[in-house]
Amino acid sequence: MLDTASNRPELPSEIARRRTFAIISHPDAGKTTLTEKFLLYGGAIQMAGQVRAKGEARRTRSDFMQMEKDRGISVSASAMSFDYGTFRFNLVDTPGHSDFSEDTYRTLTAVDAAVMVIDGAKGVESQTQKLFEVCRLRDLPILTFCNKMDRESREIFDIIDEIQENLAIDVTPASWPIGVGRDFVGTYDILHDRLELMDRADRNKVAESIEINGLDDPKLAEHVPAHLLETFLEELEMARELLPALDRQALLDGTMTPIWFGSAINSFGVKELMDGIANFGPEPQVQVAQPRDIAPEEKKVAGFVFKVQANMDPKHRDRVAFVRMASGHFKRGMKLTHVRTKKPMAISNPVLFLASDRELAEEAWAGDIIGIPNHGQLRIGDTLTEGEALRVSGIPSFAPELLQSVRAGDPLKSKHLEKALMQFAEEGAAKVFKPSVGSGFIVGVVGPLQFEVLASRIEMEYGLPVRFEQSQFTSARWVAGDKQAIDKFTAANSQHIAHDHDGDIVYLTRLKWDIDRVERDYPDLKLTSTKEMM
């Protein structure tokens, strides 16, 4: 099935055919358009426009609110499964805005690869850089799509240099563009020696593909205008000399990225990219866990929660935990062990997310993403197994960078507020701290937009207007150390101590200097800015 060697040859074919990945990009580079074309070629939607019409996370505040209102829709776009040839693609959506980076980070723990989309006119933009660095932390294989080649773009060698330098990764061209801007006629598929010609008249038409037998093949001159041919041949020769050839192992190690050039809106280059994901992208990989790692080919089922989405339907207060299957062959109705609480859970209504719909998942294999509706038992970082006490690790929670106190508009409803806040904390949408002195809550987020989204969700989902106000605290750190040292520290600093929603102790600072002071005065303690979720 694969035309390249597998790095996990022992995988059953059902698992080996799965490709689970996310798309990372800077807003406007074309992620939505590309996703839509993926779904189109995967047969998951019938016509272009369906994804866009549903409104992927748009950039303005009001659009975010709207997105939150359309939760059913934005959620069904959180994970999408579709077949491509003999492959099963699981595309996991990453929130586009930088304010949601923690959520993005966790999403990236659930995939085996990322597709990085860049705009040919802009190159590596700030958000691409940030997301890339997150991928790098996990050595995630990355495939690159340079989009919007139908418009004026930057020099191709400049774009490649920029990726190599800014992202410190080797780049290998999988295709090479012919002409730029208005003159762009298509690409040369370096991996298969084919000429791909773009049809400007029909955006949904797949490119015409012409086999080429070496660069002296007269067919090249028949199809490529003479004024473009010479430059193209020169560039291709230079590219072959200066840039490394595709090495699948280096791609799998995350040290080399193949780059395809195309135009998502013109459906151009998309199939080649999909073929690349299928043929060179990784199969489901080993998940790092404690006390031992989980291999996808293991017979027994294991999976972990990387995202929780609550109140998809506010009338029912439902919650869906998104579970990445780590091993085995799951069948609907199975009883799995919820490792954190050691309780059995019958998984009777798991859902599979198809592009525009969700349906009952009768089965799932390692690599798949399923949704498990639940009443709050499942939290981010939880592992489900067939009995063994395994915990998938590496799903962190970051200390918030912004803190505000929150008050219910109606003081009689403070119990409701507590419930709502706990719910968002479990969903991972915010950190909620209960100070040990005084009443009320401190809410922590990574980006300011999250306060607005939270306020709007609390009002919408709980009918409770709230006010966020300036807090006296500026940052938070988890406190670790032996019990005696912690007790002594918390007793002496009670004004600064709070508990998070898991009951873990947190030190709230007023000044950056506070942290240095604690570290100096309490050498037995550790203040940490990340905590593993489990």
Say if residues 113 and 140 touch (Cβ distance below 8 Å). Answer: yes
Stretch that binds ligand G4P, among 72-80, 84-92, 143-151, 173-181 (CB under 6 A): 143-151
- H/E run at residue 431: strand 431-435
Stretch that binds ligand G4P, among 24-32, 453-461, 467-475, 477-485 (CB under 6 A): 24-32
Consult the annotation and say whether 112 binds a ligand.
no
Consult the annotation and say whether 25 binds a ligand.
yes
Stretch that binds ligand G4P, among 144-152, 337-345, 446-454, 517-525 (CB under 6 A): 144-152
One residue of 20, 32, 144, 285 binding ligand G4P per CB under 6 A: 32
Tokens of 364: 């799932």
Site for ligand G4P in 228-267 (CB under 6 A): 263-266
Site for ligand G4P in 265-294 (CB under 6 A): 265-266
Say if residues 457 and 424 touch (Cβ distance below 8 Å). Answer: yes
Residue 150 engages ligand G4P in binding (rule: CB under 6 A): yes
Interatomic CA distance for residues 171 and 183, integer angstroms: 25
CA atoms within a 13 Å half-sphere pointing along the CA-CB vector of 146: 34
Please identify, using beta-carbon distances, which residue of 22 and 339 lies nearer to ligand G4P: 22
User: Cα-flanking dihedrals φ and ψ of residue 127, to 5°?
Assistant: -70, -35
**Residue among 149, 144, 188 nearest 162 (CA):** 144
Consult the annotation and say whether 204 binds a ligand.
no
Residue 25 engages ligand G4P in binding (rule: CB under 6 A): yes
Consult the annotation and say whether 189 binds a ligand.
no
Q: How far is the CB of 105 from ligand G4P (least distance, A)?
A: 19
Residue 147 engages ligand G4P in binding (rule: CB under 6 A): yes
Taking only Cα atoms into account, the Rg of the chain, rounded to an integer number of angstroms, comes to 25
Asked, as a colleague might, if the bond just before 291 is cis with ω within 30 of 0, I would say yes
Q: What angle do CA 305, 311, 333 make, to 5 degrees?
A: 50
Residue 153 engages ligand G4P in binding (rule: CB under 6 A): no
Stretch that binds ligand G4P, among 98-106, 147-155, 168-176, 422-430 (CB under 6 A): 147-155
Instruction: Count residues binding ligand G4P (CB under 6 A).
Output: 18
**Residue among 424, 426, 478 nearest 451 (CA):** 424
Interatomic CA distance for residues 302 and 202, integer angstroms: 45
Please identify, using beta-carbon distances, which residue of 263 and 493 lies nearer to ligand G4P: 263
What single-letter amino acid sits at 102? E
Residue 29 engages ligand G4P in binding (rule: CB under 6 A): yes
Please identify, using beta-carbon distances, which residue of 118 and 320 lies nearer to ligand G4P: 118
One residue of 19, 31, 88, 271 binding ligand G4P per CB under 6 A: 31
Token match 């990764």: residue? 169
CA atoms within a 13 Å half-sphere pointing along the CA-CB vector of 243: 29
**Residue among 230, 244, 107, 228 nearest 174 (CA):** 244
Interatomic CA distance for residues 359 and 347, integer angstroms: 14
Consult the annotation and say whether 141 binds a ligand.
no
Residue 502 engages ligand G4P in binding (rule: CB under 6 A): no
Please identify, using beta-carbon distances, which residue of 150 and 382 lies nearer to ligand G4P: 150
Q: How far is the CB of 93 from ligand G4P (least distance, A)?
A: 10
Residue 78 engages ligand G4P in binding (rule: CB under 6 A): no
Give the full edge-to-edge strand order of the sheet including 186-189.
Answer: 175-178, 186-189, 194-197, 208-211
Distances, alpha carbon 139 to alpha carbons 111, 142, 411, in Å = 12, 9, 49
Residue 148 engages ligand G4P in binding (rule: CB under 6 A): yes
Site string for ligand G4P, 43-62 (x = CB under 6 A): ---------x---x------
Consult the annotation and say whether 463 binds a ligand.
no
Q: How far is the CB of 95 from ligand G4P (least distance, A)?
A: 11
Please identify, using beta-carbon distances, which residue of 268 and 478 lies nearer to ligand G4P: 268
**Residue among 198, 184, 166 nearest 228 (CA):** 184
Give residues in contact with ligand G4P (CB under 6 A): 25, 27-33, 52, 56, 147-148, 150-151, 263-266
Annotated binding site for GTP: 25-32, 93-97, 147-150
Annotated binding site: 25-32, 93-97, 147-150
